[in-house]
Amino acid sequence: MSSSFLKKIFLILFIVAVSTSSGLLGALAGGLAVYRAIGNRQPVVAQPVAIETVSPPSQPKTLLKLGGTEIETAITQAVEKVGPSVVTILVKLPDQTSRFGIIPGGTSSGSGVIISKDGYVITNNHVVEGGKSLSIILANGSELSARLVGSDRFSDLAVLKTDQPVPAVATLGNSDTLKPGETVIAIGSPLGDFKNTVTVGVISATGRSLDTGEGFLLEGMIQTDAAINQGNSGGPLVNLAGEVIGINTLIVRNNPAGGTVVEGLGFAIPSNTARASASQIIAKGYVSRPYLGIRWQWITPSLARRYNLPVEYGVYIGTILPSSPAEKAGLREGDIITAISGIALNDSQPYMNTLFTFEPGTQVELTVQRGKDTLKIKVTLEEASG
């Protein structure tokens, strides 16, 4: 056998060995990279009023068994960590009066998550709005009585409290660090029957604005393709570190303009917004909002054309409330507010969202159209009573 033939055989055997070992090393290196990426995440530990301060979560472990039957993933670990703090919320609705007599109120449901060892639970305002009485069902099936601490329809958040011991508390993460493509997990009770259902998706986008149809936008929303259904509202959106980074709120099923049916358009309130609102609700029962003291009608270009108004966008003042900041500043019925401290009001900057960028007690300058005159009127905002 020639020496050149032997060299070729040894070369082939060497290539096969290297190829096999590199595939194994690549799999192990990939698992280690995931482990390090998750383990190096630095959760933000905030200390809002009465919300539990938590230590950084332990590092998730990734077990890779070559030829084995079990792989423990970061997703299962995150669910195991947050799952016990997720609750189903039962809402008893008030009785209704009709011409046929009294119609007993039914029951609706949603989801929520425990954010404090003192028994505080965060959910959506629309889950509990109009409810007569409340209770929560834990992941283990136990039902606890609860009461409404306060709510805020502008952020669609509410806080409940149970005075009975709670099994677990969720960690609120930092939603400002989220990036599109990041894996997230939604946990909740779709239809009220399928408790602690887990769905997985990604962050599709951040900073979305959604028109509520009530004169203001839900701003800074997280968009995700994780399945969210009726009953999931108020439940947590969780990252791979086991932190709650959003409160699931709504889904969009179709495009109102074209009637196109769509899938995978879910939205959640960022955890940083939820933390700030919950802290105020726990402290004083409501979220502090600035108050001007007017009843108003939003002007759009089509409305302006119909009534031959002098501006395309703005707030038409229909009523000045007694002793309000608006009355004290000299605003009149029929005035049209077109800007607040230089911020022009339009479809992307509606009145209430613009007003809410200012703190109660702040003096702002309103640009006001009064007939043919454009006025600058200074007004000191007060705090809404709740």
**Which of 108, 111, 151, 156 is the catalytic position?**
156
CA 106 – CA 130 distance, rounded (Å)? 12
**Which of 116, 233, 277, 279 is the catalytic position?**
233
Concatenated DSSP letters for 213-240?
A: SSS-EEEEEEEE-S---TT-TT-EEE-T
Active site annotation includes 163: no
The residue among 132, 82, 384, 110 whose CA lies nearest residue 237 is 82
**Which of 116, 126, 151, 279 is the catalytic position?**
126
Active site annotation includes 385: no
The residue among 162, 182, 227 whose CA lies nearest residue 37 is 182
Contacts of 34 (CB under 8 A, 6+ apart): 62, 74
CA 101 – CA 195 distance, rounded (Å)? 35
CB 198 within 8 A of CB 186: yes
Active site annotation includes 156: yes
CA 6 – CA 15 distance, rounded (Å)? 14
Catalytic residues: 126, 156, 233
